Structure 1
């Protein structure tokens, strides 16, 4: 099997690294507490300078694609029930934190046309509407799709083709650290990014995934390494010192400040015009 195209070939990865990814819009940034995955939370992240927004997708019973993490409404809204069993008309009446509506993915694509979306496919029923939404908005170059299910991820890749940026599923992540011939397996993976936690449980114990040799191996193969979900400034600095390409965070204010302190602000300053020659 031929190696996948490197991350540098995809518009999604065109920003200077490291990048900051606003997890669910920045779920524990003070103004966003209680309103994760809402248009208000995403707007706050964009206003802060974030170009990369992380979200999740589920499908309602009638096939509408919502940007929502849980498979039920109960935890974060004033309504109850499983998304897969409820029609959009009913889901649309639910309010996150009692005030904010559940957004459709198409709303994010339309409201934030300059943003890039990192999308986690949470359920099998979300695959088809996700493919349709990305096609309808001509958004292949603006998204990176991942999933905790390799089957779902393969289905999205097949439907949208080699122009879609994706992140490694669980098998790809585990393979890097744990399987014989791990680098060969990764070389054959179609993923352009490894989006991984610092540690991953294996046989009941945490195994560290983000190690210098893992980051270096990924870079040799043309892949980016994004680490989730990091909210401590100290840990952000440690990971950036290792050379990771992106950090996914709920504390988008902390990550903004860390990146700025390291000379890679979220919104780079406008370049100064060249000096005008003196006649």
Structure 2
């Protein structure tokens, strides 16, 4: 097993559904509930600024339209990323990855950056996010990079091989464990329903950790802890005390 400095409980997109996802307000709320590690989604603006957003398009979580990665940061920075959630967060801006990095570093918090590229820039996103993260976290416990996109993880590994990586999987297709090994992953991150004792044992046997998303029910969390998994990503930051 590689060294694993990260806590078990990880707040999904900052604070789950309690605040607008992937905003600084969400991270602050998750920290208020006692969380010390956070998951977020990072992609690139058209001019190469890493920023936080899950979807490829802007409509669901901002007052913008179109593909986020096709807009320059000067335009994205003026969008309202809070009103869709509730009036209390009206006007909350999209954050850059750097602003969240500085918040986590200043407060001694851990970070899981899901590299969530706009289609067509998978490798470039992995490279840019890795290079920025290496600079921001120099001399500190680095973030954990995860992605569903093998190209993004390959690029991140080529740029900054010392920053740990995790392969995200939604189902076990042929060769899933070999893919994670070929990427020299420190973790496999999968839909929590996929884990059983044999799969946990197989992943641990090759020196990787077992993480799960998105765990919002007590019975599911208890099952995963009993199986010996290593990390739980949850929206239920107000119900699970880390």
Q: TM-score range by the shorter chain?
A: 0.7 to 0.9
Q: Distance in 2 between matches of 1:128 and 1:63?
A: 11
Asked if 2 retains the 8 angstrom alpha-carbon contact of 1:127 and 1:156, the reply is yes
Superposed CA RMSD: 2.2
Report the count of equivalent residues: 227
Verify: 1:101 aligned to 2:100, yes or no: no
Residues 190/88 of structure 1: CA separation in 2 closer, same or farther (3 Å cut): same
1:167-206 equivalences under 5 Å are 167-170=166-169, 174=172, 178-179=174-175, 189-199=183-193
Verify: 1:61 aligned to 2:50, yes or no: no
Q: Larger Rg: 1 or 2?
A: 1
Asked if 2 retains the 8 angstrom alpha-carbon contact of 1:7 and 1:193, the reply is no
1:148 alignment counterpart? 148
Q: Distance in 2 between matches of 1:233 and 1:47?
A: 21
Verify: 1:20 aligned to 2:14, yes or no: no
1:270 alignment counterpart? none
Q: Distance in 2 between matches of 1:26 and 1:45?
A: 5
- Structure 1 outlier segments of 4+, above 4 Å: 182-189
2:111 alignment counterpart? 117
Residues 40/156 of structure 1: CA separation in 2 closer, same or farther (3 Å cut): same
Residues 100/71 of structure 1: CA separation in 2 closer, same or farther (3 Å cut): same
TM-score, scaled to structure 1? 0.75
Structure 1 gap ranges (5+): 1-5, 200-208, 257-265, 267-279
Q: Distance in 2 between matches of 1:58 and 1:15?
A: 23
1:1-279 equivalences under 5 Å are 6-8=1-3, 13-15=4-6, 19-29=8-18, 32=19, 35-98=20-83, 99-113=91-105, 114-123=108-117, 124=122, 125-139=124-138, 141-161=141-161, 163-170=162-169, 174=172, 178-179=174-175, 189-199=183-193, 209-256=194-241, 266=242
Q: Distance in 2 between matches of 1:133 and 1:27?
A: 25
Q: Distance in 1 between matches of 2:177 and 2:71?
A: 43
Three-state SS of the structure 1 residue aligned to 2:99 is helix
Post-superposition offset of 1:221: 2.5
Residues 187/76 of structure 1: CA separation in 2 closer, same or farther (3 Å cut): closer
Asked if 2 retains the 8 angstrom alpha-carbon contact of 1:150 and 1:170, the reply is no
Q: Distance in 1 between matches of 2:183 and 2:22?
A: 30
Structure 2 gap ranges (5+): 84-90
Three-state SS of the structure 2 residue aligned to 1:251 is coil
Q: Distance in 1 between matches of 2:177 and 2:22?
A: 35
Three-state SS of the structure 2 residue aligned to 1:226 is strand
Three-state SS of the structure 1 residue aligned to 2:226 is helix
TM-score, scaled to structure 2? 0.85
